[in-house]
Structure 1
Amino acid sequence: MNEHAVGIDVSKKKLDICVASGDKIKTKVLRNTPAGHAELDDWLKQRGLPLTTPIVLEGTGPYSEAVAIVLADANWAVSVVNPARITGFAQSELSRNKTDKVDAKLIARFAQRAKLELWEPPSIAVRELRALVDRLQALMDMRQQELNRLEALGQGTPSSVQNMVKEHVDWLNVQIKRLQSDIDDHIDGNPELKHDADLMQSIPGIGRRASAQFLAYIGDVRRFKSAKALAAFVGVTPRQKQSGTSVKGRTVISRAGHRAARKSLYMPGLVAKRYNPVIVAMSKRLEQKGMRPKAIVGASMRRLVHMIYGVIKSGTPFQADIPLAGLEVQEGI
């Protein structure tokens, strides 16, 4: 058990911090801004905590990553954990109340007792890639909204607004095409990203956009100890609900993981069901067993994650004719 530990509950606008020293606690609330992150670093040092003190945050995407990067760059022992672990710990503690302050205390107690792995901040190249990918997605969402608006306007009396919307769609198309080119140039200009993207794209079902998104959200997959660990982080591991002879629920993917990374694999999962020979064979077996189509897509996504881990970890492009035993080694199953 760690004598000192720090738990941080992250929300969009603020950070609820709890420092646990034995049974004593100290709490503080700071803004979730660059200034607040710098103030947090100073406050922790003022309390005389050693840099080896475990600092735990839940993985909540960009809101938690920004402060985690600042703390990691300052050489603190940062761990970004799956929210499902905190939820499970709360249940074991019979925690009834849920407020930001209570959650911070809970995370601090978890940090005192749990076996933690240090979090590695993404490289500058990956951070830039993520910014580009997020911007591309925002523009594509905006374009879809405008296309929906254009369709609705087309059902009524012709209006000058239609031309305005069409002009905006045309502008968005230009910006999207330019941004896609920028993403390709950024990957091509970074040998590590280029190497991993090429390996990913050797897998049938994974294209340029999917590889860029996955690398942007996951970074270097080699930091995971196994393909199973990567699948758990993404949230595509199977979750069973079965007890005795009376409770036999459907098996579904857990979804307790990185939502954006998981979303980036949905369309590749659908494509792989039709064109990736390994996944095609798997899908047919699952269909014969009566698995529902949606669950098969989840299984396809999980298998893709194993393949991604396998090709990047081994440095070998995907080969469909690898024997099953060899494939299992390549995928890290």
Structure 2
Amino acid sequence: MKTNAAKKNYARFIGVDVASDKIDIHDSEGKLTGELPNTCAAIDKKLTARLKSADNILVICEATGGFEHILVDSMHQGGIDVVVANPRQVRDFAKGHGYLEKTDAIDAALIAKFGRDVDVHLAPQRSEAQRAFLAMVRRRGQVLTMLQAEKNRLAQTRDPFAKDLIEQSISHWKNQLKTLDTQIETKLSERAKMDEKIDILRSVPGVATVTTATLVAELPELGNLNRGQIAKLVGVAPLADQSGKSDKKRKAKGGRGQVRNVLYMATLVATRYNPIIKRFYARLLSKGKLKKVALVAAMRKLLTILNDMVRNGEPWRTADLSLSK
């Protein structure tokens, strides 16, 4: 699996600033500029089609809560290397180089410079089946969001006609969620015959179908990075904030929100039913750690265990004392 872009000498860097409705493009060779709608049709026809014939090219964008998915999928379908950078790292890089102004065009240029100067990791290429599974997992997250929004509206509505319409909508989203859950479980079982990672993940107490599916779809780097790298990628690593005599409290920032959300729920379950996470969490609480702080640490612990298990190809064993270190 290609992950480290620094191992390849790229000659051309395309920085892309992604928003919900548009993307801004900066080309290190000046051949592409301006903006495009952030739609499949626009990116496929007006960006990917023009880059497919180019050699030694790297496209760089930031993680923007999912708005970057269209760009990344299009690049992969076109066989183009792409990096999804942590936006905080890009912003810190910009400040370090004295770039304080912020516009979409400036951001695109800085993103291109970041990709050129920093040792970055490629977003792993996905097969057609993997992209289809990823779309299914992401759709589940979208349906959950819409379902919760309708439930909130129902709780704030008195009008009988409006309530009836909302209840119909809730029923629709529940049915779609049930269909997605069935399909995801089926696809996971099929993939498990060829990918040992799935049974390894599902062997861990606290890690159920949704967590496994999200990790497989949204975190293909699992097992290919070291502990620190995978924690930063997900956004559960405490980052230092020190300057002179000032040493502020370390906080976990950034990362992949979809993965972090399911990891949070899995960790809540693990603090009750996973013996290693349960002891680890209880030990932190006994030392006076706040529950929120202890839970984030437990999330990082669980992620580290999963990463090690996948890398080593070993399923869960409660007797394995190395996991409790």
Range of TM-score over shorter length: 0.7 to 0.9
1:274 aligns with 2:272: yes
- Within 5 Å, which residues of 2 pair with 1:1-333? 4-21=12-29, 27-37=33-43, 38-44=45-51, 50-153=54-157, 159-191=160-192, 195-219=196-220, 221-222=222-223, 224-242=224-242, 247-253=246-252, 255-324=253-322
Deviation at 1:7, TM superposition (A): 1.5
Q: Per the alignment, do residues 200 and 160 of structure 1 end up closer, same or farther by CA in structure 2, a change over 3 Å counting?
A: same
| 2:280 partner amino acid | M
Aligned residue in 2 for 1:331? none
Q: Indicate how the Cα distance of structure 1 residues 138 and 73 shifts in structure 2: closer, same or farther if over 3 A, else same.
A: closer
Report the identity percentage: 28
Q: Deviations over 1:223-245 (max 9, x none)?
A: x3223222211111112445566
C-alpha distance in 2, partners of 1:231/1:165?
A: 40
Q: Can you give the 5+ residue segments of structure 1 that lack an aligned partner in the other structure?
A: 329-333
Aligned length: 316
One-letter code aligned to 1:18: H
Q: Is the 8 A contact 1:231 1:302 kept in 2?
A: yes
- Whether contact under 8 Å (1:205, 1:268) holds in the other structure is yes
1:305 deviates by 1.0
- 1:6–1:20 contact (8 Å) kept in structure 2: yes
List alignment gaps of at least 5 residues for structure 2: 1-8
* TM-score relative to the length of structure 2: 0.85
176-185 or 75-84, which deviates more: 75-84
TM-score (norm 1): 0.83
Secondary structure of 1:265's aligned partner = helix
Larger Rg: 1
Quote the offset at 1:133 in angstroms. Answer: 2.2
CA contact (8 A) 2:124 2:220 kept: no
Give the whole-Å Cα distance in 1 for the aligned partners of 2:10 and 2:173: 52
CA distance in 2, matches of 1:143, 1:73: 31
Amino acid at match of 1:175: Q
Q: CA deviation at 1:79?
A: 2.3
Deviations 1:58-116 (A, max 9, x none): 23354323223333343333222222221121011111211111111112222332223
Structure 1, residues 232-280: CA drift from partner, whole Å, max 9, x if none? 11111112445566x4533332x22111111111111222222221112
Q: 1:36, CA displacement in angstroms?
A: 2.8
Q: Is 2:57–2:81's contact at 8 Å kept on the other side of the alignment? A: yes
Paired residues of 2:12 and 2:28 also in contact (CA < 8 A): yes
More deviation in 294-303 or 277-286? 277-286
State whether residues 10 and 57 of structure 1, in contact with CA within 8 Å, keep that contact through their aligned partners in structure 2: yes
Residue 89 of structure 2: SS of its match in structure 1? helix
Please tell me the residue identity of whatever aligns with 1:159. P
Q: Is the 8 A contact 1:187 1:194 kept in 2?
A: no
| Aligned counterparts of 2:27 and 2:104: Cα–Cα separation in 1 | 14
Equivalent residue number for residue 6 of structure 2 = none
* RMSD between aligned residues: 2.8
The residue identity in structure 2 corresponding to 1:252 is: K
Deviates more, 1:298-307 or 1:135-144: 135-144
